[in-house]
Amino acid sequence: MEKQNQQLKSNRNSKKFRINAGGGNLFLIIFAALFVAMIVRSFMGGTAPQMLVNGQPAPQPVELTFSDVLHRASEIKTMDVRGNDATGTLTDGTPYTATITYDPELLSKIAENGATISIDTSKTWVDYLGTWVPILMGLFFIWWIFRGFKGAAGGLGRSLTQSNPTKITTGKTKTTFKDVAGIDSEKQELMEIVDFLKDGKKFRDVGARVPRGILLSGEPGTGKTLLARAIAGEANVPFFAASGSDFSGIIVGLGVAKIKEIFELAKRNAPCILFIDEIDAIGQRRSTHSYNDQDREQTLNQLLIEMDGFANDTGIIVIGATNRADMLDPALLRPGRFDRQVYIELPDLAGRREILNLYAKKVKVGPDVNLQDLARGTTGFSGADLENLLNEAALHAVRNGRNEIATVDVEEARDKILMGPRKVRKMRPEDIKLTAYHEAGHAFVSIMYADITDPIHKATIIPRGRALGMVQHLPIDDKVSMTVAEVRANLAIALAGRSAEEVFFGPDKITTGAESDIAMATHLARYSITTAGLSKKIGLAAIKQVNTLGARSALENASEKTAEMVDDEVKAWLDAAHADATKLLSKNKEKVRKLAEELLARETLTGDEIKEIISGKTTKQKINKKAKKDAGK
């Protein structure tokens, strides 16, 4: 019986295919007829084949322009007019062809000179073909559309999904949890899904319902797609992947048909995993005012029905991934659809070290590369960023003729990602000198606050991106909060560059180079005062800055008087930090000058070299080396 049903289905499918093929063939026949008609018409309107007169070739007709016809009207003997084409003979017997504009006055003028004029207004079959073929094609297309609507799911929707297939990645993946690093807590959260796919009976015996859907959200590059593939690979089940944009199309109803198509495919291979990347493309929050986006809402409705509609326990686990979980419709996030939401955070220090260890196995890393220091210096990097970092380091190593990655390659790659590639700029000597003192100011104040802030990693005056120089810090571990002392110290470090310009060049020589430093310090001070409650004057009130579409607006939860107090307090904090940095630099001008001169000479100084210069050890070492050199002579 089952074989008979399958045979009937195959017969229906083949019949449907023949119908669709017949429609396509009819279109091809009509197009071919129109094409042939155009060719025939062009030949018929062309030059006639050469005739023989008394055994001699007839003379070739001359081509006359419209102005020639006007000037030589008295020489025309006969004229046969058809549309805008005219043929005939001149008084000397020479045949001619011309293209004219139908004008009764022109024809009357030619006739007055004794010419014989005949006008042909009849139509040939080619003219009728060119007129009726487009009309017939339009009528056939309208009939085909209505026939598709009449066939419902088996008509237009299915034929459109066949002609516009969804990009679906199918098959079993070889990725497992061993290929995912830095997100151990998230992997533990998803182990239940793997256990269900491997042995769902123990869950059903207890009466437990395994989540039908899992939503993976987080910053770009944190490994959402990789984690979904690892779940399928760990459970050894089929993996179907599609993008949310694959379900949108120009034709209304195409998204609904594609949702049905992919779920039918998944049901035939259950148990399996259906992964929809960037699900916010079809799962955005519905609105009563979205009159122009009805097709997307119909696609979302079909997705809601497929995930938790009338057919339950289909064995399909839907995994969605998005960077904007706040945009999704609440009906999509309710239990029974996306039962579990897993937020994948940026990796911490230990996670970054695991990720670097994983990717370091795929490239040749030299023994001088310290992955722990690299993990410390990449706070805020995602897994994709870390992989790109090692790849950029490998490319830099190849460009410089090395067969493995060295520390200099890693440093160059990190600086390139953080600030951009090196800039070859022709700078004035005074600008280079001012940049060196600016960065020396940052570096010196950083050393003065080394006990409460992150250790300094290096200082450089090599231009990158929009920056003319940079001072980098290397965190010991990941911080989740800062004390008031740390905030004030970081403000002083940020404004130390401007303070150095004032101390060594005077208040009239300050530049716009401190733009980004001032912006960062202002943001930190305002956050500390209005959000973190670190100001005694403002108190513990949470006052957030509202920024609607880039427009200026008042402070939320604050009166005008409170807003003025906040502005005054932010200015007071910045003025205090600036005065603190200026005081430190003024008391140690010689040490800062020596640091700036070393920057001018070497362009880049490491944290240890900066400490040696400030402590004076470098000078002593140079004196000792010179004394030994003189003694050797």
| CATH number of 313's domain | 3.40.50.300
Are 284 and 303 in contact by the 8 Å Cβ rule? The answer is no
- Please report whether residue 531 resides in a domain: yes
pLDDT for res 145: 66
For the residues 90-110, what does the mean pLDDT come to?
75
Q: Which two tokens stand for residue 192?
A: 């239940």
pLDDT for res 429: 86
pLDDT for res 164: 41
pLDDT in tens, 296-337: 788 888 888 888 765 566 678 899 999 988 888 888 888 888
For the residues 555-578, what does the mean pLDDT come to?
87
CATH number at residue 79: 3.30.720.210
- Which phi and psi angles does 57 have, rounded to 5°? -60, 135
Q: Does residue 478 sit in the same domain as residue 569?
A: yes
Cα separation, 187 vs 224, in Å, equals 11
pLDDT in tens, 331-362: 888 888 888 888 998 888 889 999 999 999 99
How would you classify the pairing of strands 95-99 and 56-57? unpaired
- How many Cα neighbours within 13 Å face the side chain of 448? 22
Q: Does residue 371 sit in the same domain as residue 331?
A: no
pLDDT for res 261: 84
For the residues 511-529, what does the mean pLDDT come to?
92
Q: Does residue 329 sit in the same domain as residue 312?
A: yes
For the residues 228-249, what does the mean pLDDT come to?
82
- Please report whether residue 475 resides in a domain: yes
Are 449 and 580 in contact by the 8 Å Cβ rule? The answer is no
Of 17-26, 392-401, 507-516, 522-531, the least confident: 17-26
Q: Does residue 242 sit in the same domain as residue 313?
A: yes
* Ranges 106-120, 238-252, 293-307, 406-420, most confident: 406-420
Q: State the DSSP code for 327.
A: G
Using the predicted structure, report yes or no on whether residue 291 has a pLDDT greater than 60. no
- Please report whether residue 370 resides in a domain: yes
- Measured CA to CA in angstroms, residue 396 lies from 84, 405, 414 at distances of 70, 8, 11
Report residue 102's pLDDT band, with 50, 70 and 90 as the boundaries: low
- Please report whether residue 48 resides in a domain: no
Which residue in the block uniquely carries the two structure tokens 């600036």?
Answer: 578
Q: Does residue 282 sit in the same domain as residue 182?
A: yes
Burial annotation 287-320 (CB, 10 A radius, 16+ → b, else e): eeeeeeeebbbebbebbbebbbeeeeebbbbbbb
Q: Does residue 500 sit in the same domain as residue 355?
A: no
Write out the DSSP string of 176-230: -GGG--S-HHHHHHTHHHHHHHH--HHHHHHT----SEEEEEESTTSSHHHHHHH
Report residue 556's pLDDT band, with 50, 70 and 90 as the boundaries: low
Cα separation, 499 vs 578, in Å, equals 7
How would you classify the pairing of strands 316-322 and 272-277? parallel
- Please report whether residue 424 resides in a domain: no
Using the predicted structure, report yes or no on whether residue 226 has a pLDDT greater than 80. yes
Using the predicted structure, report yes or no on whether residue 202 has a pLDDT greater than 70. yes
- Please report whether residue 627 resides in a domain: no
First to last CA, the chain: 107
Range of the domain at 67: 56-119
Report residue 497's pLDDT band, with 50, 70 and 90 as the boundaries: very high
pLDDT for res 631: 39
* Ranges 30-34, 465-469, 551-555, most confident: 465-469
Are 329 and 348 in contact by the 8 Å Cβ rule? The answer is no
Higher pLDDT, 144 or 8: 144
Domain final residue, candidates 285, 315, 344:
344
Q: Which two tokens stand for residue 594?
A: 């020596």
Q: Does residue 329 sit in the same domain as residue 477?
A: no
Higher pLDDT, 541 or 536: 536
Write out the DSSP string of 473-536: E--SS--S---HHHHHHHHHHHHHHHHHHHHHH-GGG--GGGHHHHHHHHHHHHHHHHTS---T
- Residue 472 pairs in a beta bridge with 458
Total of domains in the chain: 5
Domain final residue, candidates 79, 101, 119:
119
Using the predicted structure, report yes or no on whether residue 58 has a pLDDT greater than 70. no
The beta-strand segments (E) located in 219-351 are 239-243, 272-277, 316-322, 340-344
Q: Does residue 452 sit in the same domain as residue 533?
A: yes
pLDDT for res 597: 93
Among residues 354, 439, 501, 502, the one annotated as catalytic is: 439
pLDDT for res 130: 64
Q: State the DSSP code for 279.
A: G
Q: Does residue 114 sit in the same domain as residue 6?
A: no
Q: Does residue 91 sit in the same domain as residue 237?
A: no
What would you report as the CA-atom Rg of the chain, rounded to the nearest whole angstrom?
40
354: number of Cβ within 10 Å = 21
Report residue 8's pLDDT band, with 50, 70 and 90 as the boundaries: very low
CATH number at residue 593: 1.20.58.760
For the residues 107-134, what does the mean pLDDT come to?
70
Q: State the DSSP code for 548.
A: B
Report residue 59's pLDDT band, with 50, 70 and 90 as the boundaries: low
Report residue 522's pLDDT band, with 50, 70 and 90 as the boundaries: very high
Q: Does residue 460 sit in the same domain as residue 606?
A: yes
Are 352 and 375 in contact by the 8 Å Cβ rule? The answer is yes
pLDDT for res 9: 44
Q: Which two tokens stand for residue 550?
A: 């880039």
Are 396 and 384 in contact by the 8 Å Cβ rule? The answer is no
What rounded mean pLDDT belongs to the chain?
78
- Please report whether residue 160 resides in a domain: no
Cβ neighbours for 368, distance < 8 A, ≥ 6 positions apart: 406, 407
- Measured CA to CA in angstroms, residue 16 lies from 23, 154, 161, 545 at distances of 11, 9, 14, 63
Using the predicted structure, report yes or no on whether residue 594 has a pLDDT greater than 50. yes
Alpha helices (H) in 272-317, listed in sequence order: 294-307
Q: Does residue 441 sit in the same domain as residue 573?
A: yes
- Please report whether residue 158 resides in a domain: no
Using the predicted structure, report yes or no on whether residue 589 has a pLDDT greater than 70. yes
Nearest to 271 by CA among 356, 350, 362, 194: 194
Asked about 501 being catalytic, the answer comes back as: no
